């Protein structure tokens, strides 16, 4: 099974992708997470990506396509995968189709999670990441915690540079102008289902499972 979680930054793609990955035992591939790890490790890719990400822009297509080609080539992807944050441009979508053909994998289903922009901005302002494991929490979830509930790291919560309000607005604009057209690309091929992202995590998850017929 190949699924693609699509939606504006902060709409809940990562959270839902993780749940689906556990349920179906297939890898969750988040290009944002791959890039953040590269930034943390200060690899060549990380050094290149850091500044672009901090200002809310997109990392160039040829770099992203190379990352996805490498990752989908690993053996754990043979039975399927959940993509989160890729493709974000029409060029990336076309390359993904080529790659799926090469891998002899069937078509990919796009799950479009939608929500009001103001609501999303509120959510992004209200979330913190753990700098050790990258897991995201709401302020309510960690209000009394000194340790990360996921990896036990101490005093590790921070507001991601790209979750600051001016960068969020830039990311939203990039989403509207460059990423949203990807939806039409898949709609024309009849590969889209849409789910309202404003419910609780469980509600959205149930809705996704119902919509994909599982
Ligand atoms: P995310 O965690 O998916 O919101 O991604 C964080 C940032 O990583 C984005 O704002 C982009 O700068 C970069 N990024 C992640 N995925 C892609 C992609 N498919 N194409 C270009 N840039 C990406």
Query: pLDDT tens digits for 124-134?
Result: 888 899 999 98
At residue 68, the pLDDT reads: 97
pLDDT exceeds cutoff 90 at 123 = no
Interval 3-16 mean pLDDT: 95
Percent of the chain predicted with pLDDT > 70: 100
Ligand 1 pocket test, candidate residues 14, 56, 65, 85, most atoms within 8 A of CB: 85
Of the given ranges (14-28, 114-128, 168-182), which has the lowest mean pLDDT?
114-128
pLDDT exceeds cutoff 80 at 73 = yes
At residue 124, the pLDDT reads: 87
At residue 203, the pLDDT reads: 96
Do the Cβ atoms of 49 and 59 come closer than 8 Å? yes
Of the given ranges (57-61, 94-98, 134-138), which has the lowest mean pLDDT?
134-138
39 CB under 6 A from ligand 1? Answer: no
Query: Closest ligand 1 atom, CA of 33?
Result: 2
Give the 3-state secondary structure of 137-193: EEHHHHCCCCECCCCCCECCEECCHHHCHHHHHHHHHHHHHHHCHHHHHHHCCCCEE
Q: Per-residue confidence at 23, pLDDT binned at 50, 70, 90?
A: very high
Do the Cβ atoms of 72 and 154 come closer than 8 Å? no
Interval 52-69 mean pLDDT: 96
Interval 19-40 mean pLDDT: 96
Helix 44-54 × helix 31-41 angle, to 10°: 120
pLDDT exceeds cutoff 80 at 61 = yes
**Which of 204, 214, 210 shows the shortest CA–CA distance to 17?**
204
Give all strands of the β-sheet with 157-158 in edge-to-edge order. Answer: 136-138, 127-130, 157-158
52 CB under 6 A from ligand 1? Answer: yes
Element (H, E) at 5: strand 2-6
**pTM for the model:** 0.90
Q: List the chain domain ranges.
A: 2-117+176-211
Let me know if domain 2-117+176-211 sits in CATH 3.40.50.360. no
Number of helices followed by number of strands (H, E) in the chain:
10, 8
At residue 108, the pLDDT reads: 94
């Amino acid at each position: 099974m190949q699924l693609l979680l699509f939606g504006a930054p902060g709409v809940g793609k990562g959270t839902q992708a993780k749940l689906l990955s556990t349920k179906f035992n297939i890898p969750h591939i988040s290009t944002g997470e791959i890039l953040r790890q590269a930034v943390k490790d200060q690899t060549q890719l990380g050094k290149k990506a850091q500044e672009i990400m901090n200002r809310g822009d997109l990392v160039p297509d040829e770099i992203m396509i190379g990352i996805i080609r490498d990752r989908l080539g690993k053996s754990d992807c043979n039975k399927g995968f959940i993509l989160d944050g890729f493709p974000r441009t029409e060029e990336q979508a076309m390359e993904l189709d080529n790659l799926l053909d090469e891998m002899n994998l069937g078509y990919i289903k796009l799950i479009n999670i939608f929500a009001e922009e103001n609501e999303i901005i509120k959510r992004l302002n209200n979330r913190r990441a753990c700098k050790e494991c990258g897991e995201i929490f709401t302020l309510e979830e960690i209000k009394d915690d000194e340790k990360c509930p996921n990896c036990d790291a101490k005093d590790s919560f921070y507001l991601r540079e790209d979750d600051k309000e001016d960068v969020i607005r830039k990311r939203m604009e990039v989403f509207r102008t460059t990423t949203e057209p990807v939806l039409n690309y898949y709609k024309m091929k009849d590969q889209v289902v849409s789910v309202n992202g404003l419910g609780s995590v469980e509600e959205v998850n149930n809705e996704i499972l119902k919509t994909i017929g599982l």
